[in-house]
Structure 1
């Protein structure tokens, strides 16, 4: 790579990180020592600068809150939500207006409900596509905007804004869970449930309850998570059964989350909890059969296939890898392929763990690589898959060791 190509590559990376940090070129230029917008345009275009290259890059890395290696590395950016973006989400959740549900002091008018709904749908679709990095930028703004709408609108618009705020908090929980930020996920999950109760919508209440159950499970409160999910399902079942596909979908997901929580409790602290897992999975299967097809109402991807995928995950959680593999073999490829990419990759990562438990380590590596092809961020960015990669490296992967080491490098593991 010659100097011109290197300058252009560095310029593209500066532009990428500036955009992720939600800075304008003017703001970036000012922080770079009172430079002009033209200066910022030139450096992002890769044009030569009079400043020594290294000093500029060191200052740019400080301004963008990244390592200088992120500007020099030839490999593509991993795309993971980073500590800076998680901190911004945490800061948004801990602001006075978000905690109290009051209007923020900006004085700005709330955005129209249709605009907020489109932005939320965009975020949820990004999540299901496995594009989590975009959420680090979208979630803090969407939290602020939906809370402002809920605080300032009245009547039906206020109810609609409360529903969107609860759903956005649920999206926040899911994003935090992906990156192992369990305290942040738990905070968002609790807020989602509280707002959902004000929304007067049982579907929103059930959706928030399944998100909180998920956060509780990942934060070491699996037993309470199962009890909470089942209590929500029992309380809301009558109303949910009257709400058609969306009601059945969130009802079924509550039982799936309860099953996963019980499996986690059995694995961690209470072996007797494993007895309840099949019954909860069967209850979810019942609602999937009532639904009669694989759907994506309320962004649940709920249906017979997702129920089967969760059965695989539960068996893996219970360290019954051979049983998990046997169940996975019975899931039709077309049905699995129709699931959102995030769900497919999540399932393949679970299956890889099942292969490891069954002593089939080379197949575990290949399955994990398949998951990476489906949704790279699901594998490269998540602490749970990093642990799986490290376990495979420690135990040895035979002829797959070269492929595993290459994957470890892409995950940033030394």
Structure 2
């Protein structure tokens, strides 16, 4: 039994049943630490069948679904709708919450955000559907009712929570939801009066705009934010360099999308892509290390990942494969699972473009082993699996067929 995947399935169904870890521990007559270790895949030994059966009974799910069904790794439509609903609430939009409700402490809010963001970077996107609504409600209340430095920090955390909402919506394939969250994140960032948070929110909104077919606007927005905030960001050390570099990486991908959609002068539009990538490389060189300030994963290695993605966007698959091969293994290993799996799916797309379809299947399977949700749940990756089915994958047909079934694609 894969303890990590089993633990994630337990966490998924516990969340679906609206049980806290403490409540589930009480039902199982175990300690909270036991549940945390189980869901985190940190148990010393696999649970025996009687324990698995009891867990399934407590969560009202069959043992087979608890052990084997990959679809439980993906968010339910109801969970995505719950995120949309909270963004449409009057109190969340206006920031005018119940005056009698005690706001959560800034420290508790920060812990909840770190927990959710860490899960995202580990490739656990489905659980965010149950975490984000409470996070946004708590952050909105805190930003209204705290005062002084605590209020500014609450505004920062609200912006970062909305950024997480945008990032999750991209993974779920809901680009309209991503744009809404991205706009709100920028507004909250302005309230925080923190240039680092402003730049971070801007790079997320640029990403949402690009995904939503507004690539030209995304380039303009990202570069305007970079020019406006650059002086202050350069004074903020590694944190400032990281978000500034990410703005140019997002501008590069947006510009690649502009070029790909340009029927008149795509080559001219494409020439700006390496300019933005080179700018990001300069900030990575100044940084000197592969870091993860403010969950950016920014550094020379991530710049390499974006070069691969830009080549893929420009349908230059062979060039993307060549760049991917040059990325140092040590740098890759240091990146979060989400980043590594994202690279693998980009590489699989590049291999498909280059006619290397058997290799593309192998690369997708490697990505699935690393971060299953990046492959089994993301609409963009599932579309690639469907393309490979239509194109044919030679000796990899059997493995591709099994992968398509795990993705829930119709036969």
**What TM-score range do you get, normalising by the shorter chain?**
0.7 to 0.9
Unaligned ranges ≥5, structure 2:
1-8, 21-52
Q: Hey, what's the Cα distance between the residues in 2 that align with 1:46 and 1:22?
A: 15
The 3-state SS of whatever aligns with 1:302 is: coil
Task: Report the equivalent of 2:126.
Answer: 133
Does 1:212 find its partner at 2:208?
no
Conserved? CA contact 1:21–1:137, under 8 Å: no
Q: Hey, what's the Cα distance between the residues in 2 that align with 1:229 and 1:16?
A: 35
Q: Hey, what's the Cα distance between the residues in 1 that align with 2:14 and 2:332?
A: 38
Count of aligned pairs:
370
2:230 aligned residue (234, 237, 248): 237
Task: Report the equivalent of 2:44.
Answer: none
Conserved? CA contact 1:120–1:142, under 8 Å: yes
Conserved? CA contact 1:70–1:77, under 8 Å: no
2:245 aligned residue (241, 245, 252): 252
The 3-state SS of whatever aligns with 1:97 is: helix
State the TM-score, normalizing by the size of structure 2.
Answer: 0.85
Task: Report the equivalent of 2:103.
Answer: 110
Does 1:290 find its partner at 2:283?
no
Conserved? CA contact 1:78–1:377, under 8 Å: no
Q: Hey, what's the Cα distance between the residues in 1 that align with 2:313 and 2:396?
A: 24
Report deviation, 1:108. 2.0
Task: Report the equivalent of 2:140.
Answer: 147
Task: Report the equivalent of 1:78.
Answer: 72
Conserved? CA contact 1:15–1:44, under 8 Å: no
Q: 1:368 to 1:97 in 2, by over 3 A?
A: same
Structure 1 residues 13-412: aligned runs within 5 Å: 17=13, 19-22=15-18, 75-104=69-98, 107-269=100-262, 271=266, 272-412=268-408
Q: Hey, what's the Cα distance between the residues in 2 that align with 1:385 and 1:239?
A: 38
Report deviation, 1:74. 5.3
Report deviation, 1:269. 3.6
Q: Hey, what's the Cα distance between the residues in 2 that align with 1:388 and 1:76?
A: 18
Unaligned ranges ≥5, structure 1:
1-12, 25-42, 48-56, 62-67
Q: Hey, what's the Cα distance between the residues in 2 that align with 1:185 and 1:297?
A: 22
Moved over 4 A (4+): 13-16, 43-47, 68-74
The 3-state SS of whatever aligns with 1:22 is: coil
Q: 1:229 to 1:71 in 2, by over 3 A?
A: same
Report deviation, 1:23. 5.5
Q: Hey, what's the Cα distance between the residues in 1 that align with 2:270 and 2:297?
A: 25
Q: Hey, what's the Cα distance between the residues in 2 that align with 1:195 and 1:15?
A: 31
Q: Hey, what's the Cα distance between the residues in 1 that align with 2:55 and 2:350?
A: 48
Please give the root-mean-square deviation of Cα atoms over the aligned residues, in Å. Answer: 2.5
Q: 1:368 to 1:16 in 2, by over 3 A?
A: closer
Conserved? CA contact 2:12–2:127, under 8 Å: no
Conserved? CA contact 2:71–2:408, under 8 Å: no
Report deviation, 1:77. 4.4
The 3-state SS of whatever aligns with 2:72 is: coil
Report deviation, 1:352. 0.5
Report deviation, 1:18. 5.8
Conserved? CA contact 1:116–1:146, under 8 Å: yes
Q: 1:233 to 1:398 in 2, by over 3 A?
A: same
Q: 1:335 to 1:14 in 2, by over 3 A?
A: closer
Alignment deviations for residues 217-274 of structure 1 (CA, whole Å, 9 cap, x no partner): 0000001001100000010000000111110000000000000001111112462421
Larger Rg: 1
The 3-state SS of whatever aligns with 1:125 is: helix
